[in-house]
Amino acid sequence: MKYFVVSDVHSFYFDMVSSLLQAGYSKNNESHTLIVNGDLFDRGPDAIKMYEFIREIPKERRILIKGNHEQLILEAVKKERPSKHDIHNGTVDTMLQLSETPKTKMEMFFEEYFLFAIEEDLDKVSAVNKLWRKIVNHKRVKEVVSWLESDEWIEYYELDNLILTHAFIPLTVKDYDKTVETLTYNDVYEYNPNWRETSKEVWKDARWGNPWAMYQAGLFSEEEKKGKTLVVGHWNTDDFYKHLNDNYSNRTDIYFSKGIIGLDGGVRKYQERYIYFCNVLVIDNGVLYDTFGDKLEWVKQRDF
């Protein structure tokens, strides 16, 4: 089986598909499996196309790992109305796309949201609540939510010596002095040897962690001693290069080291269009390649 791993594709359907084609992936090839390492939706323009594409892949040849944006969607649909961060993170836009609500409604959401937040106008609050209930009860939205809640979406996946998860493995929270202003990750967290058996609530926090910073703090070192490598998205790879490697150059390609692999190329604006730099990690009989078929070589990391 040949595996193709993407992460943080955020409804940038055409960017993802073009990268997958470049990497040689075909959803009709019975020896190809697609792994989505979290954050399938939000921010990009093609939520419906993204949903339909993934659902067309036979279930046995798709592996879906939960990201923080899957979590945001599941939390948003339970609210009376969207929160400010639901607008900022693109979750409202995803709901509008999935429900095929006209884009003029997006303007209403922004306008009404900030008006009622400032003026506490109950009529405006009621109007937004009513529109939100209509959107989240749309047939396709409910279908997507049911799918995201299903057992198909998992917290992590292990393949050979690779541990794939959206941001980081769950950690144990120490007893620490919350009044200290200069806390480090080591002050707050420690490695949890039983992270695979931890609760769903703990996994929710793990989806939001800063992967390169937690790795730099040595919080994956026990797994690294066992020969494991963490494969993550969630954070743009340019920061991996900046903080873990001396050759920082605003890079968007895969960050590839023996201990941690970063996949999220990030979004850039180009000629009035947002472009997602979709990296594809190809795993073929234990050998790892990039989107263009080049065998990946380990980068040299700084001494931490």
Tens of pLDDT, residues 218-266:
999 999 999 999 999 999 999 999 999 977 778 999 999 999 999 999 9
Are 53 and 161 part of one and the same domain? yes
* 50 vs 32: CA distance, rounded Å: 18
* Through-space distance between the first and last CA atoms of the chain, rounded to whole angstroms: 36
The enclosing H or E element of 256 equals: strand 255-256
Are 277 and 160 part of one and the same domain? yes
Average of pLDDT values for 184-213?
94
Are 61 and 162 part of one and the same domain? yes
Tell me the C-alpha to C-alpha distance, in Å, between residue 198 and each of 69, 140, 160, 230, 288.
Answer: 20, 32, 21, 18, 29
Tell me the C-alpha to C-alpha distance, in Å, between residue 22 and each of 31, 278, 280, 289, 292.
Answer: 17, 11, 9, 12, 6
Whether 97 is in a domain gets the answer: yes
Are 96 and 176 part of one and the same domain? no
Are 173 and 268 part of one and the same domain? yes
Tell me the C-alpha to C-alpha distance, in Å, between residue 281 and each of 25, 174, 209, 261.
Answer: 11, 34, 21, 9
Range of the domain at 176: 2-66+155-289
Whether 6 is in a domain gets the answer: yes
Residue 120 has pLDDT above 90, yes or no: no
Angle between helices 47-56 and 91-98 (to 10 degrees): 70
Residue among 59, 57, 63 nearest 17 (CA): 57
Identity of the residue numbered 4: F
Average of pLDDT values for 262-275?
82
**CATH code, domain with 57:** 3.60.21
Whether 76 is in a domain gets the answer: no
Are 20 and 103 part of one and the same domain? no
Q: Give the pLDDT confidence score for residue 125 in this predicted structure.
A: 80
Of 146, 164, 195, at which residue does a domain stop?
A: 146
Whether 51 is in a domain gets the answer: yes
Are 60 and 162 part of one and the same domain? yes
Tokens of 43: 């921010």
Identify which has the larger pLDDT, 73 or 201: 73
Where do the H-state alpha helices sit in 46-138? 47-56, 68-76, 84-88, 91-98, 104-119, 122-136
* 82 vs 113: CA distance, rounded Å: 9
Whether 73 is in a domain gets the answer: no
Q: Give the pLDDT confidence score for residue 122 in this predicted structure.
A: 79
Whether 296 is in a domain gets the answer: no
Whether 173 is in a domain gets the answer: yes
Q: Which H, E and C letters describe 258-292, residue by residue?
A: CCEEECEEEEEEECCEEEEEECCEEEECCEEECCC
* pLDDT single digits (tens) 140-181: 999 999 999 999 999 999 999 999 999 999 999 998 888 888
Q: Give the pLDDT confidence score for residue 115 in this predicted structure.
A: 65
Of 97, 112, 146, at which residue does a domain stop?
A: 146
pTM, entire model: 0.94
Are 111 and 159 part of one and the same domain? no
Average of pLDDT values for 65-85?
94
Are 244 and 101 part of one and the same domain? no
Are 138 and 14 part of one and the same domain? no
What average pLDDT does the chain have? 92
* pLDDT single digits (tens) 83-97: 888 988 999 999 999
Percent of the chain with pLDDT over 90: 75
Structural domain total, the chain = 2
